[in-house]
């Protein structure tokens, strides 16, 4: 059982380098499937298990990028091999819509845990058919796989389910305003039906605005923390929408996302839970903190916001139930997260952008 988890801070050279560490029972003999394992959150999960539970078998399933694009010009898949450099587990290239592949997984493996991160995750995608097929229909097939193996399911839901619902956002008050949010809410509804008749635990984690290592290959959909960081490193004035000090979001560092996933492996009860910090911060805060960490002092440029009317101006996760049921406790204020992330922002800029 993975119930009693502790954390501690590491301090090196008088600079706080905050890292999550968990002390858990062994996962020896356990097999873990991570769909979307070459993506942002999936690859971080893979390395968490490799570094902390080398006795477990980790299998990654990802479609990887092929150059195929959606009608909005963005890539269909963000999975990238560079996110997995150093990973020693098994890697399968495949599409979760491939029923023959899922049958092969059912017959030839015996999973104990499934972390489902694969999705069409572009909130601006217009392909409703592909979004529903990939995010909803394939998820139901994966739930069948989980139940046949007796594997606990932990899957990525999203704060996009809330749309423009008032803050703080609470489970049960959803109003998606794009097909991505609708697809994630549909996944949650399917999950609730399975929870009624299944012995496995099923946990949906509604991620808010996640940032951190291994997000670069999401391209234009990467966090504004990474994008602003690279603007500053390029010597450019950061460009923000007008009134950015009043545009507030719940930004959550990747380490806290991993924490929530690990604690969801054996929850007190199945359910849908918000994963955020419970605090709303502004885009202006991001730039100000980055400037401090990078030692820059560029003048901000403010431009009209073309997304007024279709833009979330305030997100803030109600994490009361997440704390009670999962034992989750966010550890990273934005200042801590950016401080921990800034060296990676610099590395990526030097190796991939410059």
pLDDT score of 310: 63
CB atoms inside a 10 Å sphere around CB 148: 13
Residue 240 has pLDDT above 80, yes or no: yes
DSSP 8-state assignment for residue 137: I
CB 146 within 8 A of CB 204: no
Residue 3 belongs to a domain: no
**Cα dihedral across residues 256, 259, 261, 267: positive or negative:** negative
| Mean pLDDT, rounded, for 193-215 | 96
Residue 192 forms part of a structural domain:
yes
Percent of the chain at pLDDT > 70 equals 92
Given this model, what pLDDT does residue 90 score?
98
Is residue 153 in a domain? Answer: yes
Mean pLDDT of 185-205: 96
Q: Which residues are catalytic?
A: 180, 218
Q: Is residue 48 part of a domain?
A: yes
Distance (Å, whole) CA 7 – CA 19: 8
> To the nearest whole number, what is the mean pLDDT of the chain?
92
The reported pLDDT for the residue numbered 1 is 34
Look at residue 24 in the predicted model and tell me its pLDDT: 55
Going by C-alpha positions, the residue among 60, 67, 68, 66 that lies closest to residue 90 is: 60
Question: So what's the pLDDT on residue 308?
Answer: 72
- If you average pLDDT over residues 341-353, what whole number do you get? 98
> What pLDDT is recorded for position 198?
85
Residue 265: φ, ψ to 5°: -65, -35
Q: What is the CATH number of the domain that holds 115?
A: 3.40.50.720
Range(s) of the domain holding residue 82: 10-210+254-276+318-332
223 domain residue, yes or no: no
Residue-level pLDDT at 21:
46
Residue 99 lies in a domain: yes
- Alpha helices (runs of H) in the chain, residue ranges in sequence order: 40-52, 99-108, 128-132, 138-149, 179-196, 224-233, 254-263, 283-294, 320-321, 334-348
How confident is the model over 144-169, as pLDDT tens digits? 999 999 999 999 999 999 998 999 99
Question: Does the structure show a pLDDT above 70 at 5?
Answer: no
| Tally of domains in the chain | 1
- Per-residue confidence (pLDDT) for residue 16, from 0 to 100: 34
Q: 190, exposed or middle or buried, with CB in 10 Å at 0-12, 13-18, 19+?
A: middle
pLDDT on residue 311: 66
């Amino acid at each position: 059982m993975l119930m009693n988890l502790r954390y501690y801070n590491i301090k090196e050279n008088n600079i706080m380098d905050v890292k999550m560490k968990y002390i858990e029972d062994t996962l020896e003999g356990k097999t873990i499937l991570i769909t979307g394992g070459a993506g942002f959150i999936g690859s971080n999960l893979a390395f968490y298990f490799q570094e902390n539970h080398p006795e477990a078998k980790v299998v990654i399933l990802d479609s990887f990028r092929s150059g195929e694009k959606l009608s909005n010009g963005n890539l269909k898949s963000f999975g990238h091999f560079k996110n997995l450099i150093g990973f020693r587990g098994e890697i399968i290239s495949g599409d979760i819509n491939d029923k023959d592949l899922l049958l092969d997984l059912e017959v030839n493996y015996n999973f104990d845990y499934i972390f489902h991160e694969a999705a069409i995750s572009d909130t601006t995608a217009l392909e409703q058919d592909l979004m529903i097929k990939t995010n909803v229909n394939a998820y139901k097939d994966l739930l069948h796989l989980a139940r046949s193996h007796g594997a606990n399911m932990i899957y990525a839901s999203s704060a996009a389910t809330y749309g423009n619902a008032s803050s703080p956002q609470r489970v049960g008050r959803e109003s998606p305003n794009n097909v991505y949010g609708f697809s994630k809410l549909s996944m949650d509804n399917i999950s609730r039906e399975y929870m009624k008749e299944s012995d496995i635990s099923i946990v949906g984690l509604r991620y808010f605005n996640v940032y951190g290592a291994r997000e670069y290959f999401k391209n234009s959909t990467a966090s504004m923390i990474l994008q602003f960081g690279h603007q500053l490193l390029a010597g450019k004035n950061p460009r923000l929408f007008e009134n950015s000090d009043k545009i507030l979001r719940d930004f959550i560092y990747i380490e806290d996302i991993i924490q929530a996933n690990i604690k969801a492996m054996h929850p007190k009860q199945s359910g849908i839970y918000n994963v955020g910090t419970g605090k709303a911060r502004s885009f202006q805060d991001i730039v100000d903190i980055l400037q401090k960490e990078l030692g820059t002092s560029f003048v901000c440029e403010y431009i009209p916001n073309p997304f007024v009317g279709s833009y979330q101006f305030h997100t803030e996760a109600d994490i009361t139930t997440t704390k009670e049921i999962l034992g989750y406790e966010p550890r990273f204020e934005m200042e801590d997260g950016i401080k921990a992330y800034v060296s990676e922002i610099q590395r990526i800029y030097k190796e991939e952008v410059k």
